[in-house]
Chains A and B, each alone.
Chain A
Amino acid sequence: MPAFDNMPDMELYQPVQIDDALALAARLADRGWLVGGGQDTYGWIKDRNKRPDALIDLNGIESLRGIREIADGIEIGALTTLTEVATNPIVRERYSLLSKAASVVASPQIRNAGTLAGNVAQDVRCWYYRRGLDCYRAGGNLCYADTPEAQNREHAIFNASRCVAVTPSDTGPALVALEAQMVITSQRGQRVVPADRFFVGPDVDIENTTVLRDGEILTAVRIPAKWAGAEFYYEKVADRNVWDFALVSIAGAMRIEGGNIVASSIVCGAVQCTPRRLSSVERAIQGRPRNEATATMVAGMASQGARPLNQNAFKMPLMDNLVTKLLTA
């Protein structure tokens, strides 16, 4: 064998019908692992830090791909690649917030393979956890990122509960801002969960970042017409432009009538375990113009209540500054 790391022996299933995939997911339960683009998956398995017995490759299921119009907005098949989401004309025209978010994930090659489902269902990037340490999230009883010496520059400033990891998904904040509906299918049927309830923090479930359970497959994401063609602002701040996760990101949708913001939906990524809706800012800017004066009025509001760790207090002014940019862009 060559001297580089291969993946350990596993079964591989490549269903072409969604019913077959659901049956496999139900039968294999926690022994199985769904694969979209595999871009989050293979690292875990190569490192031996997650070790499913079987992979269920969903890529052969054509019905899970593509973007179509529905009565209220659009429906994006869960297996649609991030490149398709970023370049699709309908998404770009009506929901450029989402196409922008998808276009800054990782690198071109990862976006060519990575799927929308995989992007929202990916696990946290806390390196202690990724290293295979038995922290809270891995079923243990301590957090390596929340100690005096810990390297926690990238970690949470809000809503930590034992675990201080943040949501790594770039599309997550855009989907929450657009009030997307996540269509989850299992052999028992279908449930549709709003994006803001799809993501869960460690206070609710410390071992899962979403409400997805064994046997369930995210089959589609619906974007309601509510925010179609609204004014959008998206920005991701990271150390590097490519391959890097957000330090803080912001996704905002605003409706402006008669020169004033009549409705808005503003969400930050990478500040807590789930995309964080900035409800206080949304309320404060309601009925005011999108300008410098309004930005000054809400200065500091976004980061109110933050509880930074040793190395991540910089995320507070970063959040506030992103809100300023959103209002003055």
Chain B
Amino acid sequence: MNPRLTRRRFIKSVIFSGAALSSGAGFYLASAQSRQAGAVERLVSLNINGRTRRVDVMPQETLAHTLRYKLGLTGTKIGCNRGECGSCTVTIDDVTHYSCSTLTHSVKGKEVVTIEGLRSESGALHPVQQAFIDELSPQCGFCTPGQIMSTVALLKTNPRPTREEARQALSGNLCRCGAYDHYLNGVMRASGQLS
């Protein structure tokens, strides 16, 4: 195999922890030249909100952890940390995911967007953010970043959803204040269906 390909495949295919590298056994040994080569793999490039960020990521690290505690993007909230609330919702290649239940290493080469990535260069709010303000959607606001990310993803594939479609699309985002109807009003306004 062409050495560049091998190298590329190695990078794509394996992240060695120190222990795995030093064990020496196994088929990846041929491509893993040295301990340093393995160690370097913890340093990854992530595409977050349109910018490339270099960050040192543990093998088992979740995206929510990386965003909040390594990149300072604390708009993404952690409610349950186990896939049961939706407050950590981000989009990965325009699809919603719970960042608390996503390995950071699995988003290499993908486009991650968090609530911080929505406003325009000029600082203007995203239409969904503005619509949610206009409709007084949030109550305490803790679930709001997740509700907004789910709405942004919905409107990308379905620009004029029915209220029922919006309900389905936002059904993976709990709101303990029970502001659901206000969020749905926000979705309808953002999609130009409320005047």
Contact = CB atoms under 8 A, between A and B. Distances in A.
The judgment on whether A and B are partners is yes
Interface stretch (B16-24, B126-134, B136-144): B16-24
Q: How large is the interface on B (under 10, 10 to 19, 20 to 34, 35 or more residues)?
A: 35 or more
Interface string B95-134: 1111001110110000000000000000000000000000
A29 interface: no
B189 interface: no
A4 B87 CA distance: 15
B155 to A, nearest CB: 14
Nearest to B78: A4
Contact of A60 (B12, B28, B89, B171): B12
Q: How large is the interface on A (under 10, 10 to 19, 20 to 34, 35 or more residues)?
A: 35 or more
A112 B16 contact: no
Given A16-B9, A38-B102, A109 B89 contact: yes
A50 to B, nearest CB: 13
A14 B17 CA distance: 12
Contacts of B12: 14, 16, 60
B13 A7 contact: no
B88 to A, nearest CB: 9
Contacts of B25: 27
B62 A109 contact: no
Given A4-B78, A13-B14, A57 B98 contact: no
B17 to A, nearest CB: 4
B15 A14 contact: yes
Contacts of A14: 12-15, 105-106
A17 B62 CA distance: 24
B14 A108 contact: no
A297 interface: no
Interface string A71-95: 0000000000001000000000000
B106 A46 contact: no
Contact of B59 (A10, A16, A24): A10
A42 B78 CA distance: 15
A149 interface: no
A109 B97 contact: yes
A210 interface: no
A57 B106 contact: yes
B60 A38 contact: no
Chain B contact residues, majority secondary structure: mixed
A13 B171 contact: no
A97 to B, nearest CB: 20
Nearest to A13: B14
Interface in A220-244: 241-243
A13 B101 contact: no
B81 interface: yes
Nearest to A41: B101
Interface in B51-99: 58-62, 65, 68-69, 78, 81-84, 86, 89, 95-98
Given A4-B78, A46-B81, A107-B171, A57 B105 contact: yes
B35 to A, nearest CB: 14
B60 A113 contact: no
A4 B103 CA distance: 16
A109 B172 contact: yes
Contact of B97 (A7, A8, A9, A113): A113
Interface in A32-57: 35, 38-39, 42-43, 45-46, 54-55, 57
B17 A9 contact: yes
A243 B84 CA distance: 7
A149 B41 CA distance: 51
A242 B83 contact: no
A20 interface: yes
A242 B28 CA distance: 42
A10 B17 CA distance: 8
Given A7-B62, A9-B59, A45-B60, 4 more contacts: A20-B28, A46-B81, A109-B97, A112-B96
20 contacts: A5-B81, A6-B61, A7-B60, A7-B62, A11-B15, A11-B16, A12-B17, A12-B105, A13-B20, A23-B26, A27-B25, A42-B62, A42-B82, A55-B60, A57-B105, A108-B172, A113-B97, A113-B98, A113-B101, A241-B171
